Copies of this chain bind each other. A is one copy, B any other.
């Protein structure tokens, strides 16, 4: 089997989103044990000019959703960023898992050279071929927001280690 655009994206998202579910479960457990409201996690930031915990998960899941939709040439569904509890963030991760698993390898064929156009708030859209989009935009961003989520939980004292970050080997 050769590496493909599908094999380099969908299984990567599935693994990491599954890991995130485990982190969120451990975060809830930590809150229960320490008797604080787990909603408190949602506003945590690593720096005052960085996005909060809730946005890290929303952006990571948007990244996965947008990638599989764009590479397969289907419309990117719009999900409102309304999650206000840890349980709702968990549901969003689950919804993303369902969504990315709904695509087949065949739908990604030829997506290396598919033109991807991303609107930006500043004006001119970003344009990539599919391969550049996946390797240099989607995956670094996805791992950025996953790692920042993990770091915020570690910073909060949640019992997580590198094995939780990577998931089952």
- Residues in B whose Cβ lies below 8 Å from that of A126: 169
For A1, list chain B residues within 8 Å (CB).
112-113, 131
Which chain B residues lie closer than 8 Å to A128 at the CB level? 169
**Interface positions of A (Cβ within 8 A of B):** 1-5, 7-8, 11-12, 15-16, 46-47, 49-50, 112-113, 126, 128, 131, 134-137, 139-141, 143-144, 146-148, 150-151, 154-155, 157, 162, 165-167, 169
On whether A154 and B47 interact (CB within 8 A), knowing A148-B147, A169-B136, the answer reads: yes
Cα(A139)–Cα(B46), bound, Å: 23
Residues of the B chain whose Cβ atoms lie less than 8 Å from the Cβ of A139: 12, 139, 143
